[in-house]
Amino acid sequence: MDKITESLLTEFSQQNNLETLPESKRFEHFTAYIVVKSEHSETFDTHDLVVGSGSDNQGGSDTGIDSIAVMVNHVLVTDIDEIDDATSGAGPLEVEFIFTQAETSPHFDGAKIGTFGFGVCDFFDDKPKLKQNEKISAYAEIMRIIYKKSSRFTRGNPKCKLFYATTGKWLGEPALLSRIEGVRSDLSDTGLFSLIQFEPLDASRIQKMYQRTKNAISADFIFTSRVTVKPEIPGVNQAYIGFLPWCEYRKLITGESGNMKGGLFFDNVRDWQGFNPVNSQIKQTLESENKNRFVLMNNGLTIIASTVQLTGDKFYIENYQIVNGCQTSNVLFSEEKFSMRTSLSLYD
């Protein structure tokens, strides 16, 4: 393992009380964290995700998979008790299955890519051929519950994403690309997914993904329809209220990958509630002929930021939180095909 990756792994292990685990197991947690963090906006415990052999007394029978994450309507589901809440209501279900395999080897191994892919395919099989440990069996049950509600996949079948990480360098060798394509083809043949993604992660990519989890959240956007507010509140230097087009607000809540940015709603009163009756009504408005009235019908969003820099109509904000608007933001994100305006109040 190179010095930089080793240093980042050590830091992560210390911050998450993983020092007593062998290096290979710590790397499994590390990989699960950077992958899921790039997809998920809230905090989570990697112990809930890591299913690899020898982790958390699981023993063998990991089917070649080191971690599993299931996202239902942008909510991370980690046990059977949560799946009913995540799928309650009658709204559409947007589902992602995320799998990782992490090796401290300096090389990408075609055989291990094949084993990983076979394990993921077997996970979705009605009659799995591989013996599953307790954690994988629990996630398989969550998967089965989700697919029983497939009539609600109105926005497309679930997405399946695989990430194979090593501490080496990815060179895109044809033999390895062929193995990856074979895995994609096998998963595609199941007919279960709207998207299948298989990404190799090398040391350089791993380092960048981890650093992204540590950097302050920032965004640039154009905010023209605004007025300046001067509230007499100690510690508030700037305040603005106005209307922000969706194409600009999207820059605040999505990252380079097109997924929701992590850490936006830590200070929000409520986490994303899924498509409950209220959020389903918001969705219905966005899909109706009245969508242009959304700005008048919604009570707006509130953002606080430690840094606000203004150049003309261009704003740069850093280290910001959406303290009111988690539900609206998630519904807008799921309805991003619409172009609209939403009220926005921004305080610094």
Query: Torsion angle of alpha carbons 184, 187, 191, 193, nearest 10°?
Result: -80
Is pLDDT at 165 greater than 90 in this prediction?
yes
Are 40 and 185 members of one domain?
yes
Which of 61, 235, 209 is closest to 134 using CA atoms? 61
Please tell me the distance from the alpha carbon of residue 325 to that of residue 20, in angstroms, as a whole number: 40
- Is the pTM value of this prediction over 0.85? no
Tell me how long the chain is.
Answer: 348
Q: Are residues 174 and 281 in the same domain?
A: no
Residue pLDDT, tens place only, 217-253 = 788 999 998 998 876 777 787 899 998 888 899 899 8
Q: Total domain count for the chain?
A: 2
Last residue of a domain, one of 165, 183, 214: 214
Helix, strand, coil percentages in the chain from 3-state DSSP, rounded to 5? 40, 25, 40
The DSSP bridge partners found for residue 347 are: 239, 304
Cα separation, 324 vs 302, whole angstroms: 5
**Which backbone phi and psi does 181 adopt, to 5 degrees?**
-65, -35
* Residue-averaged pLDDT of the chain: 85
Say whether both 178 and 223 belong to one domain.
no
Q: Rounded to the nearest 5°, which phi and psi values hold at 102?
A: -125, 125
Clarify whether residues 174 and 57 are in a common domain: yes
- pLDDT of 343 strictly over 70: no
Q: What percent of the chain has pLDDT over 90?
A: 48
Say which DSSP state 263 is in: T
Residues 200 and 237 both lie in one domain? no
One domain for residues 231 and 115: no
Report the relative pairing of strands 159-166 and 195-201 from DSSP bridges: parallel
